[in-house]
Amino acid sequence: MEYQNILVNIEGSTATITINRPNKLNALNKDTIKDLHGAFKKLEKNKKVRVIIITGSGEKAFVAGADIAEFSGFSKKEGKKLAAKGQEMLFDFVENLSKPVIAAVNGFALGGGLELAMACHFRVASENAKMGLPEVSLGVIPGYGGTQRLPRLVGKGRAMEMIMTAGMIDAQRALDYGLVNHVVPQEGLMGLCTQLADRISNNSPVAIGYAIKAINDCFNNNVNGYATEIEAFGECFGTADFKEGTSAFLEKRKADFPGK
């Protein structure tokens, strides 16, 4: 499938999605969100792909925000629709994907860019990365899940400060806050993400999918996460991956998970 604003590359069991709008600092617009939704949906169905890395083109930005010109004249109704549709198509969709998504944050991750990175299952940043939610400086609040995911990752007080000051934090502070898992020189960013993807790919994709759901349910007030874990734990016992994993352990060999 051809995409207008993104590039998709698959090597082995890892797919890399690159948001490719360098002259706009990879800002998100409707077409880019649509492209990303299509790519993630297709990759989730691809049995060969076990991990997805998402990054931005160039060395300046992961995603430097939403395309403000696209919605600056919106009404209240249009604004609500924009947030609801965006969350459904991309941000919630990524968070609940059964395959791990790693955000390789190469430069600015602002507004919708940081919201996209936070929707991923974890984040790795380059040393030059800068992150923030500057929406209140435009007279609006984060609309793609930023007010919900940021407090879960960094705590309420830090999230309040970041959102209300509309400021940016650097990669080291993001690491201190727990917003990112690792910080590396820019030239080593994709290498580390690939290493992590390879390590993940050695494990059961079925079990990982169940783990993602159980962990997400920990933060869902309408669901008992412990009950999700119990149910998923039991379901694992009926999978080919469980049979292969336990057999490999007992036979002292490396498991070759079929992924079902």
Q: Which two tokens stand for residue 89?
A: 């198509």
**Are 118 and 145 a contacting pair, CB within 8 Å?**
yes
Catalytic residue among 11, 78, 135, 161: 135
- 93/97 Cα distance (integer angstroms): 6
Q: Is 115 a catalytic residue?
A: yes
Catalytic residue among 115, 161, 187, 251: 115
Which long-range contacts (C-beta less than 8 Å, at least 24 apart) are formed by 71-80? 79/140, 79/143
The radius of gyration computed from the CA coordinates of the chain, to the nearest angstrom, equals 19
CB within 8 A of 221, min separation 6: which ones?
Answer: none
Burial class from Cβ neighbours inside 10 Å (0-12, 13-18, 19+) for residue 56 reads: buried
Q: Is 78 a catalytic residue?
A: no
Beta bridge partners of 7: 18
What are the residue numbers of the active site? Answer: 115, 135
